[in-house]
Amino acid sequence: MTRIAAIELFLVELPLVRPFRTSFGETVTKRCVLVRVEADDAEGWGECVADDRPDFSGEFNEGAWIAIRDFLAPLVLDAGDADAARAELALRALRGNRMAKAALIDAVLDAALRARGVSLAGWLGAARHRVECGVSVGIAATTDALLEQVDGYLADGYRRIKLKIEPGTDVERVRAVRAAHPDILLSVDANAAYRLDDAEVFRAMDDADLLMIEQPLHHEDFAQHAALQGQIETDVCLDESIRSAADATAALDLGACRIVNIKQGRVGGILEAKRIHDHCLTRGAPVWCGGMLETGVGRAQNLALAALPGFTLPGDTSASSRYFPDDLTEPFEMAPDGTMAVPSGAGIGVTPRPDRLAACTSRREIIRRGARAAKE
């Protein structure tokens, strides 16, 4: 078993090709913490999906940096071996911080698989070499601007359009997109912007033949999601509410959703994401792979996961060009048929290009066993 020698953190920032607006805010520049695990005979990469502000979740970049540097990385270093299951177990001593934990666990797994020359997709039990791509369309300034963006993404080949929605423009925009494109796979994502009292909005969407309504209500409320699901025909999908396999089980048991958005970075890493997948597959609940505007590192991890058999719906696994003028890794490209290749190289199959990483990095720190090294 290969041993972990050091853990290196990078704070990176990349401009987006266009601002991405949701019901809780706007992202103009992607910023995130990358983790590099240095093992005896391989390195491994992980990406923390937190943003600058604790808006999508309670985690945020500066907090994740401190959590990893001061609490999580020392536990992984003490565990010693590049063994993701052991790292995950060691990290159970500390609560929450799932996005920070995911970056570490995924990086350890990547190092272990690279050392053995095994691909992440193969190790997970991938059922396919290509996955279907959807795209998440941010809230536009006007309905016309939205329709134009949707046209562009459909021309690119995307197989499912997801509209971010917010109160005020929701039903009008959904109807406009549906009228323009009667046959596409179409879904909406509210990012918890509504209350159960707003059920009328979602009843009004029932005739738009949506694939699902993602995270309509408060992220901590399964009971109200179950009540809403009972009042509408369209399937409810949960995103923010699902932090673990236990959450997914509870949500399905309670009827709070019928579909689960799996983001490995949100649930504490690929191992927990696989458990959610396995559970949902057993009970016949469709899952799909969500996105957090990841760089090529997180994208590679998502693609491997999305290749599992239970991922029966197109994910938010879009091409690098949908996000960045210049990704950190070699760009992920989507074929005109709306599919993308799952990386087949060892581990996650990609690494940040050194020159690009250097250009995007605003802070860097190495953590070694026993003591923290000085900042670089």
Instruction: Closer to Mg ion by CB, 106 or 189: give it.
Output: 189
Inter-residue contact 232 to 241 (CB < 8 Å)? no
Among 2, 61, 119, 136, binds ligand SMG (CB under 6 A): 136
Site string for ligand SMG, 343-362 (x = CB under 6 A): --------------------
- Specify the 3-state DSSP secondary structure of 51: strand
Name the active-site residue from 162, 164, 274, 375: 164
Q: Which is nearer to ligand SMG, 74 or 265 (CB)?
A: 265
DSSP string, 72-89: IHHHHHHH-B--HHHHHH
Determine whether 330 is exposed, middle or buried from the number of CB atoms within 10 Å of its CB (0-12, 13-18, 19+): middle
Residue reference for tokens 């673990």: 244
Closer residue to Mg ion (CB): 45 or 311: 311
For residue 316, state whether it binds ligand SMG (rule: CB under 6 A): yes
Scan residues 215-244 and list those touching Mg ion (CB under 5 A): 239
Smallest CA-to-CA distance from 304 within 335, 279, 267, 341 is with 341
Counting DSSP H helices and E strands in the chain, the numbers are 13, 13
Give the range of 65-73, 193-201, 222-230, 291-299 binding ligand SMG by CB under 6 A. 291-299
Q: How far is the CB of 332 from Mg ion (least distance, A)?
A: 20
Nearest Cα neighbor of 38 from 75, 8, 79 is: 8
Segment interacting with Mg ion, rule: CB under 5 A, options 102-110, 123-131, 212-220, 265-273 = 212-220
The single-letter DSSP state of residue 361 is E
Identity of residue 11: L
Residue 292 sits in the site that holds ligand SMG (CB under 6 A):
yes
Q: In the annotation, is 164 catalytic?
A: yes
224 binds ligand SMG (CB under 6 A): no
Structure tokens at 88: 């995950």
Q: Which residues bind ligand SMG (CB under 6 A)?
A: 20, 22, 27, 51, 56, 136, 189, 191, 239, 290-293, 316, 318
Catalytic residues: 164, 263
